């Protein structure tokens, strides 16, 4: 499972970079940038751990703090590079979302929660970092407005749950469900597909 661990670290790093970008667009200072980077990268897992009453992941495994800090410093130092490699970052961001969903889902299942609650907790893990980032930046959260994002997480979480129920081999299950999340999200952004807006004539 070393590959998963490494991808998880990369996901945290990339989320931190995207947090700094959001902070920069709001003309925040360096401290604000680090905080936004932290909540983007670690906020979703923190909310999940508070809800399931687990020790907070980054407080137990402090390497996450340093990876998020590293992502912030990287984004501060190489602002131009970050803009150039935006597409590669998007790919890692999409992989991160998939992994965060499944890691949150697995943790909730491990804590004895039923699949429906575990799916919600998986989606919270992947999305609430961005939600808190947008609240701190005084925006309506992006995922409520524009993108197939949470929907991709839900799809991947449901597929993992079905695989888990039928005792599919775990590594294979993670691979399939993560690829589902990453694939749907990448496809949606590429094709500019978005969720319908609520209105009087659905």
Residues that bind its own copies (CB under 8 A): 20, 23-24, 26-33, 35-36, 46, 50-53, 55-56, 59, 62, 65, 76-77, 79-80, 113-114, 116-117, 120, 131, 135-141, 143-146, 150-151, 194-200, 202
46-55 own/partner pairs: CB under 8 Å, 24+ apart: 47/124, 47/125, 47/128, 47/132, 48/104, 48/107, 48/108, 48/121, 48/124, 48/125, 48/128, 51/121, 51/124, 52/107, 52/108, 52/111, 52/113, 52/121, 54/107, 54/111
Residue with smaller CB distance to its own copies, 7 or 23: 23
CB of 161 to its own copies, least distance (A): 14
CB of 136 to its own copies, least distance (A): 6
Residue with smaller CB distance to its own copies, 147 or 164: 147
CB of 98 to its own copies, least distance (A): 17
Residue with smaller CB distance to its own copies, 7 or 185: 185
CB of 41 to its own copies, least distance (A): 13
Residue with smaller CB distance to its own copies, 82 or 178: 82
Residue with smaller CB distance to its own copies, 7 or 39: 39
User: In which element (H, E) is residue 159 found?
Assistant: helix 150-165
Residue with smaller CB distance to its own copies, 108 or 174: 108
CB of 3 to its own copies, least distance (A): 27
Token output for 184: 């749907």
Token output for 87: 């597409």
Report the 10 Å Cβ neighbour count for 133: 25
Alpha helices in 78-139 (DSSP H): 79-84, 86-110, 115-136
Please state the φ and ψ torsions of residue 97, each to the nearest 5 degrees. Answer: -60, -45
CB of 115 to its own copies, least distance (A): 10
Measured distance CA(32)–CA(136) in Å, rounded? 10
């Amino acid at each position: 499972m070393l590959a998963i661990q490494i991808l998880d670290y990369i996901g945290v790093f990339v989320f931190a970079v995207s947090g700094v970008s959001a902070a920069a667009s709001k003309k925040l200072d360096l401290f604000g940038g680090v905080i936004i980077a932290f909540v983007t990268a670690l906020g979703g897992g923190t909310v999940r751990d508070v809800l399931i009453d687990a020790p907070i992941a980054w407080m137990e495994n402090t390497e996450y703090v340093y990876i998020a800090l590293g992502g912030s410093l990287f984004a501060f130092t190489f602002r131009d590079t970050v803009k150039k490699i935006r597409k590669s970052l998007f790919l890692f961001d999409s992989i991160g979302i998939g992994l965060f969903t499944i890691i949150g889902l697995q943790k909730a299942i491990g804590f004895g929660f039923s699949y429906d609650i575990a799916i919600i907790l998986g989606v919270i893990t992947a999305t609430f970092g961005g939600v808190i980032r947008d609240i701190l930046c005084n925006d309506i959260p992006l995922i409520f407005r524009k993108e197939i994002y949470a929907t991709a997480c839900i799809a991947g979480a449901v597929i993992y749950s079905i695989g888990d129920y039928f005792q599919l081999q775990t590594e294979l299950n993670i691979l399939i469900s993560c690829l589902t999340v990453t694939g749907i999200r990448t496809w949606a952004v590429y094709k500019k597909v978005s969720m319908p807006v609520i209105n009087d004539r659905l």
